């Protein structure tokens, strides 16, 4: 099962998750030689992308899987397997 196919946390049933991401890219910051900041710095973050990886339940905090690879954690797979038996 893929992480994106989850409809709730398999541990507590909560309907919300959170992802941790890191910024990837470069910032172009302009400054004048006299020490003042350039007014052209309004879009310095436009080339920054957020790369999300680890996904956790927003309620119980348990690790659910990797957003980038769309894989569920082993514990999620085990939890879903247990549910099917019950
Ligand atoms: Zn949970």
Gap from CA of 7 to ligand 1 centroid (Å): 12
Helix (H/G/I), strand (E/B), else coil: 51: strand
Q: What is the pTM of this model?
A: 0.74
Averaged pLDDT for residues 30-59: 90
- 37 CA → ligand 1 middle, Å: 46
Ligand 1 center–CA 50 separation, angstroms: 24
In the predicted structure, residue 25 carries a pLDDT above the cut 70:
yes
Q: What pLDDT, on a 0 to 100 scale, did the predictor assign at position 30?
A: 86
Question: Distance, CA 8 to ligand 1 centroid (Å)?
Answer: 8
| Cα 53 to Cα 11, 16, 30, 62, distances in angstroms | 20, 16, 31, 14
């Amino acid at each position: 099962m893929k992480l994106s196919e989850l409809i709730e946390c398999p541990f507590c049933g909560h309907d919300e998750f959170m992802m941790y991401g890191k910024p990837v890219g470069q910032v172009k910051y302009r400054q004048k030689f006299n020490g003042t900041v350039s007014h052209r710095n309004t879009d310095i973050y436009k080339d920054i992308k957020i790369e999300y990886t680890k996904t956790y339940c927003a309620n119980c905090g348990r690790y659910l899987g990797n957003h980038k690879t769309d894989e569920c954690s082993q514990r999620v797979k085990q939890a879903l397997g247990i549910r099917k038996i019950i």
